[in-house]
Chain A
């Protein structure tokens, strides 16, 4: 009898445990929520032929919010100022749905300009404190005369009330050791507008425990954004050292040589943060590795993939196909579709004369030349026709 009771109890115990596991386990919740998502998607497709009902209602929402983009968060423009004669800072207040950032990260900023959405990545240049206290962030961008986005931003800025921004992205952030334990020192290298993520990191450090040196390479002091703030920080904070390199006067930065003259400093004991043109980052990285600095102590940020408008015939295209990256050579004047096929890829295609739009794919960064019209595209993300586009700079493309 008692044995039977024990048995029943044991079975109950098992059932109870299973139920607990099933209900408490994230895998079950995940299955339920993924089912709910799939159901919602099917419902929305059925009702509106859109993956989300919001897309169907978009034309109605645009009635009074023309800037609104359903894939991003809206951000209102609080004000703007010119840091230098070329660098524009815009103060944004993101909508409550935006989940914040870690200093050093970047966002994709989207602007409705003359009827079309154009986008570009920008590092956030303000401190974590500004966001924590006022829910505001700053983006700073150098206005380039041939840059599509920055030119549009500069011309629209005075009447602009709203923008769209993506979630914060990227892993170019301070390693925990630099901020708290103080075991290692930190070397930052900024060139030109590459100062923005580094200034965000510096101005966010609340508790200084280890030395930080910033090499800030600019053409001349007039072009150096945040210089006054950096000087103020250097005067106030003994652990921070600012080294301004004016390339017009002293020539290019030689990082290793400069570091060698630094007292009480071991090159292999530091964390490095590099932000600037791809060539600069690459050069510094190679030099440091030669000096025995471990590769995982060198952090660098460049937007997308080397974006310089390359001279000469051969460009490189970095093609992302189902999660894998493939690098191909793309000669100037040769359709990207042909270049990709010659190197073993087989993108979808149709007419091959620019009519049918079967080969359209997402260009993430870089400029292409339209072989039929001779027009050069902007360098932001947009869709291109592979069969009539040729590389104009290095490219990043998603198939």
Chain B
């Protein structure tokens, strides 16, 4: 169903009111929550790294260490990093929880992430040709894209991308800017020079590699191989988890895509409308939501990227009611169901054709 401008304006007013209801109440509760999360993350990371070395007592300690380190990395990337970099906690004026100062435990440089994710992806969500997160330039996920031979094996490409997800994310901006490969686009305005991009990419990547695969193994002495392997597994768990969560947010069966013409000079209401249709939620237990960094509420996250994420669950029923009122599809389901449709989508568009994605 298409909404007219008047309806879109009314939609914007209602969604703004839901946001104001939360944002005017921010205070001690949210601050304590995120500080506690940060404390949990630090304790998991430190104890995980210590337990891995104690693997000589029993390998179970090593395994526990790996799980704790993976958990620390997931919390750091999802519930803390991603949300902090969106400016959700800027109002706290806290030096370690500020979007302009935060740097995370992942190969991707925070500055690069803020440009490609916060700006490009969140402003132009699911607009084909403007939101490079739709398929990451690697996967054909709708019939908006011409079929190419390489799409035939894109499920394998997807598995490789998931395994190396942190490197995919960190290389994303350089790929788009054609820093190393590809034809340069003459009309592209660069907000940052290629040399700065390279410096950030190699600098951050090298630090992360050095930490997990040189520094910690070295100080572990005879246990170096265990620590090295443990760090590798922890990074792998984090990569698979983050990739899976993110794919469930925008590539499920019923998400919509948009053309650039549809969104030219769009109103605030249309922007909201596009965010609801371009995202999908999945359900789960409270701790499950925390592990996804509340990206299980992708719709609410896209409507309110700067609202502290713990509130997405509380505003979700209101958002769903508003969506229903305006006849906008609210895409939600169990994690297993949503993920199954992602896999189906990747496989379906490996082959030519496929039905048009609604917009």
Give CA–CA (A357, B114) in the complex, Å: 8
Please indicate the chain A residues that have their CB under 8 angstroms from the CB of B30 in the complex. 115
Q: Is the CB of B118 within 8 A of A356?
A: yes
* Minimal beta-carbon separation of B175 from chain A (angstroms): 19
The 0/1 profile, CB within 8 Å of B marked 1, for residues 340-367 of chain A is: 0000000010110111111010000000
* Minimal beta-carbon separation of A381 from chain B (angstroms): 8
Q: Is the CB of B92 within 8 A of A116?
A: yes
Q: Is the CB of A357 within 8 A of B103?
A: no
Please indicate the chain B residues that have their CB under 8 angstroms from the CB of A372 in the complex. 16
Q: Is the CB of A118 within 8 A of B103?
A: no
Give CA–CA (A115, B28) in the complex, Å: 4
Please indicate the chain B residues that have their CB under 8 angstroms from the CB of A42 in the complex. 207
Please indicate the chain B residues that have their CB under 8 angstroms from the CB of A60 in the complex. 39, 42-43
**Given A60-B42, A350-B119, A350-B123: A47 and B211 interface contact (C-beta under 8 Å):** yes
Give CA–CA (A12, B93) in the complex, Å: 59
Tally of contact residues, B, Cβ under 8 A = 47
Residue A49 CB within 8 A of the other chain: yes
Q: Is the CB of B20 within 8 A of A358?
A: no
**Given A114-B27, A357-B99, A373-B23: A59 and B118 interface contact (C-beta under 8 Å):** no
Please indicate the chain A residues that have their CB under 8 angstroms from the CB of B105 in the complex. 49
Residue A309 CB within 8 A of the other chain: no
Residue B104 CB within 8 A of the other chain: yes
Residue B35 CB within 8 A of the other chain: yes
Residue B141 CB within 8 A of the other chain: no
Give CA–CA (A50, B207) in the complex, Å: 12
Q: Is the CB of A356 within 8 A of B28?
A: no
Q: Is the CB of A45 within 8 A of B207?
A: yes
* The residue from B24, B42, B123, B211 contacting A46, defined by CB atoms under 8 A apart: B211
Q: Is the CB of A358 within 8 A of B115?
A: yes
The binding surface of chain B is classed by DSSP as: helix
Q: Whose C-beta in chain B lies nearest to the C-beta of A362? A: B100
Q: Whose C-beta in chain B lies nearest to the C-beta of A384? A: B90
* The residue from B90, B96, B119 contacting A55, defined by CB atoms under 8 A apart: B96
Please indicate the chain A residues that have their CB under 8 angstroms from the CB of B114 in the complex. 356-358
Q: Is the CB of A47 within 8 A of B118?
A: no
Please indicate the chain A residues that have their CB under 8 angstroms from the CB of B43 in the complex. 60
Residue A58 CB within 8 A of the other chain: yes
* The residue from A49, A117, A353, A375 contacting B123, defined by CB atoms under 8 A apart: A353
Residue B305 CB within 8 A of the other chain: yes
Give CA–CA (A48, B318) in the complex, Å: 39
Interface residues in B29-46 by Cβ distance below 8 A to A read 29-32, 35, 38-39, 41-43
* The residue from A49, A63, A355, A373 contacting B118, defined by CB atoms under 8 A apart: A355
Give CA–CA (A56, B105) in the complex, Å: 12
Give CA–CA (A115, B39) in the complex, Å: 15
Give CA–CA (A355, B118) in the complex, Å: 7
* Minimal beta-carbon separation of B90 from chain A (angstroms): 6
Residues on B facing A (Cβ under 8 Å): 16, 20, 23-24, 26-32, 35, 38-39, 41-43, 86-87, 90-96, 98-100, 103-105, 114-115, 118-119, 122-123, 191, 207, 210-211, 215, 268, 271, 305-306
Apart from A46-B211, A115-B32, A117-B94, what are 20 other A-B pairs with CB-CB below 8 Å?
A46-B215, A50-B96, A56-B42, A59-B96, A60-B43, A71-B95, A115-B28, A115-B92, A116-B27, A116-B91, A118-B93, A119-B93, A348-B191, A353-B123, A355-B305, A356-B122, A358-B114, A373-B23, A373-B24, A383-B98
Residues on A facing B (Cβ under 8 Å): 42, 45-47, 49-50, 55-60, 62-63, 69-71, 114-119, 348, 350-351, 353-358, 360, 372-373, 375, 382-383, 385
